Amino acid sequence: MENRTEKITVATFFNHYGAMKMKKALGPDAVLRPVPRLLSSSCGTCVFVNGKDDALKEILDNADENLEAVYTKDSEKYTNIWKVN
């Protein structure tokens, strides 16, 4: 059997409302979660996007000034793929 892990993209925000708006824009593939401890010592809300190859593009297309960073998650390892200036 093929051992596949689903691609997960995680977007973090400067405030909760930014995460809420992104979740609404991305639809049912997106889930609101607390920011994982591995990503930050702050305790905001982030958006997990499951199984979408073009998640980064979709996040950036819907982004406003509240978006802080975007990561990909591979098992327990997070890789930063976008960050606000």
Partner 1 sequence: MSKEKRNLIIAGVLIGAVSVALVALGNPKNMGFCIACFIRDIAGATKLHSAAVVQYVRPEIIGLVLGAWIISMATGEFKSRGGSSPMLRFIIGAFVMIGALVFLGCPFRMILRLAGGDLNALVALFGFIAGIACGCFFLSRGFSLGRYYKQNSLEGHALPAVNILLLVLLIAVPSVFAFSEKGPGSMHAAILISLAAGLIVGILAQKTRLCMVGGIRDIILVKDYTLIFGFIFIFVAALIGNLITGNFKLGFEGQPVAQTAHLWNFLGMFIVGLGSSMLGGCPLRQLILAGEGNSDSAVAVLGMFTGAAVAHNFKLVGNATENGPNTYGKVAVIAIIIILLAIAAVRTFKEEK
List interacting residues with partner 1 (CB under 8 A): 14-17, 20, 32-34, 36-37, 41-45, 65-66, 68
What are the structure tokens assigned to 82, written together?
A: 């976008």
Q: In which element (H, E) is residue 24 found?
A: helix 16-26
Strand stretches in the chain, DSSP E: 8-13, 30-34, 45-50, 67-74, 77-83
Q: For partner 1, which is the closer residue by CB, 42 or 80?
A: 42
> How many CB atoms are closer than 10 A to CB 68?
21
Query: Shortest Cβ distance from residue 15 to partner 1 (Å)?
Result: 4
Query: Shortest Cβ distance from residue 47 to partner 1 (Å)?
Result: 10
Q: For partner 1, which is the closer residue by CB, 44 or 72?
A: 44
Query: Shortest Cβ distance from residue 55 to partner 1 (Å)?
Result: 19
